[in-house]
Chains A and B, each alone.
Chain A
Amino acid sequence: MKVNLKGTLLAFFTLGTLLLSGCSELAVLDPKGPQAEVQANDTIMLITLMGGIVVTVLIILGVMLFKYRASKQSADYEPPHIHGHWLVEAICIGIPVLIVIFLSFRSIESNYLVESAPAAYADEESLVIYASSSNWKWHFSYPEQDIETVNYLFIPANRNIEFRLYSYGPITSFWVPQLGGQKYAMADMVTTLHLAADVEGEFWGRNANFSGAGTAENTFTVTSMSDEKFNEWVEEVHATADPLTEEKFEELLEPGHLGTSTYTGTHLEFSPAPEHSHGKTGPKVTGEQEQEDHSSH
């Protein structure tokens, strides 16, 4: 038993070390934005604390198995009947309670941080982007810039982006691991996600929620750039891209995969997001030309 036990312990420590040493390269632990950083810090803190608990349990288990195994005791040893001691039980309850209290405060704090616009960029107004999914694509509408892109995002770095998420079909989940995330996009309501990039660069994003046969390839890229470059891009799009017509948008909604594309104008004008509708209306689904009542807007 002794050898086996040591082997197990060794395996766990090796794995633990591997896990921690590999951390810096893992997407979630390599944040490029304030929200992802909150989440990465929480994760590192949790791995350390939880690792400590696992090691404690392993040590107690190891000691017990080593000290009280039958082969170490005389044949006529009769284990006593033990009912428990108030102090031991108080410790067993007390320590977990303290850990949970600590984590509860931390959890509340982090929740409010990731749910609000990052304080670092509070001086500038958030850029609003509507991100809607359809089987199996992402449509990004920039109402201020009057631009719509498919399957790629250009964003200014060092500015908060307020994503408004909804779906033309199954529930999807908008996720950019290095910037933070994720949040569901649904057909009957709009959810909000605040993200920002601290640096310029390209990050990958995807729909993380299973939404049918094409989910695996339901990905997009996010490129963050300086304000000037972003404005240049906006101007370029207005100069070169085709306008997004209702027919074109219906075509884009057809199930399947598409590459990237860019349009002037947004679909919000003829197919608005399901904001404040309390589910009375849903966004139009491919092929359906229902007469819907948008009077609640």
Chain B
Amino acid sequence: MEFFERFMVPHPSFLIYMSMVLIALVSIALVAVVTYFKLWGYLWREWFTTVDHKKIGIMYLITALLMLFRGGVDAVMLRYQLSMPENAFLTAQHYNEVFTTHGVVMILFMAMPFITFFFNFLVPLQIGARDVAFPRLNLISFWLFFMGAMLFNLSFVIGGSPDAGWTSYFPLADNEFSTSVGTNYYMIAIQIAGIGTLITGINFITTIMKMRAPGMTLFKMPMFTWSALIANLIIVFAFPVLTVALAMGAMDRLFDTKFFAIGDGGMDMLWANLFWVWGHPEVYILILPAFGLFSEIIPTFARRNLYGYNAMVWSMILISVLSFTVWTHHFFTMGQGAMTNSIFSITTMLIAIPTGIKIFNWLFTLYKGKIVMTTPMLYSMHFIPLFTLGGVTGVMLAMSAADYQYHNTMFLVAHFHNVIIPGVVYAMLAGLTFYWPKMFGFMLNERIGKATVWVMSTGFVLAFIPMYITGLDGQARRMYTYSEATGFTTLNMVSFIGAAIMAVSFGMLVWNIWYSFKNSPRNIGSDPWNARGLEWATHTPIPSYNFAITPDVTNASSEAFWDMKKNGVEIFKGDIKKIHMPNYSGLPFVMGVFFFILGFAMIFSMWIVAIIGLIGVLGCMVYRTFEKDEGFYIPEEEVKATEKKYEEMYKKRGDK
């Protein structure tokens, strides 16, 4: 192949050219705006180099929302293609690229940064810490993730998108059947982002285990922190498996090794096993923090404590252990025989037990409560029945004999969207609405917010319930077309309408942010929801040091702020002292750029450039180890002055 040919998109179409032009225009516009308003210096000083967990969190949030848009556009395109039989909107090749990137973007570049945003923003506040254990490493995590995400998205304009499905099964993903560099992007971009995630895992386990406020025993931790701890433990144990699998896949493609090759002893089943040994726990990495968020929101608006705290914790621990024992259920049909299938069928169904316990505990949290139906609560109340439906269809799929008929069909597609959307996406949006005032100092509009939830759920039901039916009627997944004779037409059209309605609901979300930014009052104080957790016990906007005095929760429960408000438990004891803070650093960004260069060069087998990138990465590490960085102190007077400023501000604005 000619050198430059590799950089061309292999199967261009009008749609792709149009999107390329749009992407180019938007990028130029962004750079122009930032330059015009002279924002580069501000962005560099305040954001790109920040080690403040709250700001890093917000950068994750922005990336997640961008990727949600991209993955969402993919989704609508997929549903539109299938809304009519023999539709010529997308070609087979283009459809394959779209569903592959839809899957990867939504799971790895939307859902993962969204939960990482909550880890970053909430965990230190909930445990009463100044920051995470390794603030600098936290910024490296972000830049690795971000560069991985950008590298993956670059495939769209340079070289062609991956097209072997988000599971990228070999031998389909090998050079012989996936000839463009698309799958190289998959192997290497996810690798870079994955290393970032692994570092996040190490960081947050250390933070939670070592930096809790005095008096906060493990079983006094807020529920979201518990879920974060368990999710990060899963990250540390599951992501190395992905690291190895991706490295092997990349080597097969770039260096002609024979791990998953046809012939020469290669074993395609090994990829499937390794992928799902990571892939199934990955699902729980996403859903457990979602459970954690619902466990924060439901008690707040039921005005009652969470029912069965211990049962909630133990069920999460049980889920995390079981999550490593069920991966084979992703390929019951691979021919491992009745015995193996029976074992994995049972382990899979066992997960329903702790999950069921959680559902009942949320329901009983409402018992004798005083339920206020705010937007976050409405998301949660829609989550319970919709997620239950997704959960029970999961039990159906766990019946391996029957799964022979559900596997690879739209039934399966309906199931996993039915757990991930009401489970993860609703939790993210509920959490976003709930913590929005804590981040930005104003509330999102409740009327628009509630309307959004109803529109979203309507769209969801219309989009995904029909898939259960067409799946049982034999509609296989990942097929770009079908004939009219199959009779799938009507339900697929309904499904497209549902997807379009969901798109409208996301538009409403964006409109709500703009509308509320313009119209919402700013004098809302620091506890607008009458909430319960320690994260609400600090000012809004949150000062860089989080708490002027380290909270002491010895006499409080897991709902320390509620105990302080209602029962007069004193959690801020002692005097204000000087506060030790970490320094900002530009090194993580530079390292991210070198990783980007390394990754890009590897994708296109440009070895000299790759070596330069690698030397850059190693150079950053060497620089770091010789660097003397002992942070700095905010003097006592400055902390006192800041605290005083808040008091004056509240008084001036007339906050409650």
Contacts and interface: CB of A to CB of B under 8 A. Distances in A.
Do A and B touch each other in the complex, judged by CB within 8 A?
Answer: yes
Interface of A: 1, 4, 8, 11-12, 15, 19, 22-23, 25-29, 36, 38-40, 42-43, 46-47, 50, 53-54, 57-58, 60-61, 64-65, 68-70, 73, 77-84, 88-89, 92-93, 95-97, 99-100, 103-104, 106-108, 110-116, 135, 165, 169-171, 173, 175, 177, 180-184, 186-189, 191-192, 204, 206, 208-216, 279-283, 285, 290, 292
A46 B402 contact: yes
B395 A279 contact: no
Closest 9 CB pairs of A and B: A191-B335, A110-B401, A50-B392, A170-B172, A282-B263, A64-B366, A208-B408, A216-B479, A27-B474
Interface in B371-411: 371-373, 381, 384-385, 388-389, 392-393, 395-396, 398-402, 404-409
Contacts of B267: 188, 279
Given A23-B472, A183-B333, A282-B264, 19 more contacts: A12-B385, A19-B468, A28-B406, A38-B401, A42-B401, A80-B304, A96-B352, A108-B346, A170-B172, A171-B171, A183-B334, A186-B269, A188-B266, A188-B268, A213-B163, A214-B92, A282-B262, A283-B262, A285-B176
A254 B78 CA distance: 29
Contacts of B568: none
23 contacts: A4-B454, A12-B385, A42-B401, A50-B396, A57-B388, A64-B367, A68-B302, A70-B303, A78-B370, A84-B308, A89-B308, A107-B400, A110-B401, A111-B401, A115-B338, A181-B404, A181-B405, A182-B404, A186-B269, A188-B268, A204-B474, A213-B93, A282-B264
B374 to A, nearest CB: 11
B451 to A, nearest CB: 12
A186 to B, nearest CB: 6
Contact of A279 (B266, B384, B393): B266
Contacts of B265: 279-280
Contacts of A208: 407-409, 476
Given A58-B385, A64-B366, A175-B408, A39 B353 contact: no
Contacts of B264: 282
A89 to B, nearest CB: 6
B305 interface: yes
B346 to A, nearest CB: 5
Given A26-B469, A208-B476, A216-B479, A1 B373 contact: yes
A70 B372 contact: yes
A46 B403 CA distance: 12
Nearest to A19: B469
Given A54-B388, A113-B401, A100 B345 contact: no
A235 B559 CA distance: 81
A69 B367 CA distance: 10
Contact of A103 (B263, B349, B388, B389): B349
Contacts of A115: 337-338, 341
A279 B261 CA distance: 10
B477 interface: yes
A175 to B, nearest CB: 7
Nearest to B366: A64
Contacts of B342: 107-108, 111
Given A68-B302, A79-B368, A39 B407 contact: no
A206 B266 contact: no
A70 B165 CA distance: 48
A23 to B, nearest CB: 8
Nearest to A12: B385
B396 to A, nearest CB: 5
Tell me what chain B mostly uses at the interface: helix, strand, loop, or mixed: helix
B177 interface: yes
Contact of B393 (A50, A60, A96, A100): A50
B461 interface: yes
Nearest to B396: A46
B363 A64 contact: yes
Contacts of A282: 262-264, 266
A187 B369 CA distance: 59
A54 B385 contact: yes
Given A213-B96, A279-B266, A81 B349 contact: no
Contacts of B454: 4
Interface in B151-181: 163-165, 169, 171-172, 176-178
Contacts of B93: 213
Interface of B: 92-93, 96, 163-165, 169, 171-172, 176-178, 262-269, 272, 302-305, 307-308, 311, 331, 333-335, 337-338, 341-342, 345-346, 349-350, 352-353, 356-357, 359-361, 363-364, 366-373, 381, 384-385, 388-389, 392-393, 395-396, 398-402, 404-409, 454, 461, 465, 468-469, 472-474, 476-482
Given A15-B461, A175-B408, A79 B352 contact: no
A269 B93 CA distance: 35
B395 A210 contact: no
Nearest to A84: B308
Given A46-B402, A68-B370, A107-B349, A171 B474 contact: no
B467 to A, nearest CB: 12
A39 B408 contact: no
A4 B378 CA distance: 11
A211 B367 contact: no
Contacts of A186: 268-269, 334
Contacts of A58: 385
A195 to B, nearest CB: 11
Given A50-B393, A111-B342, A180-B404, A216 B308 contact: no
Contacts of B409: 208
| Residue from the set B171, B267, B305, B352 with the largest chain A CB neighbour count within 10 Å | B171
A73 B216 CA distance: 34
B468 A93 contact: no
A40 B404 CA distance: 11
B262 A92 contact: no
A208 B385 CA distance: 31
A283 B372 CA distance: 65
Contacts of B371: 64-65, 68-70
Contact of A182 (B337, B381, B408, B481): B408
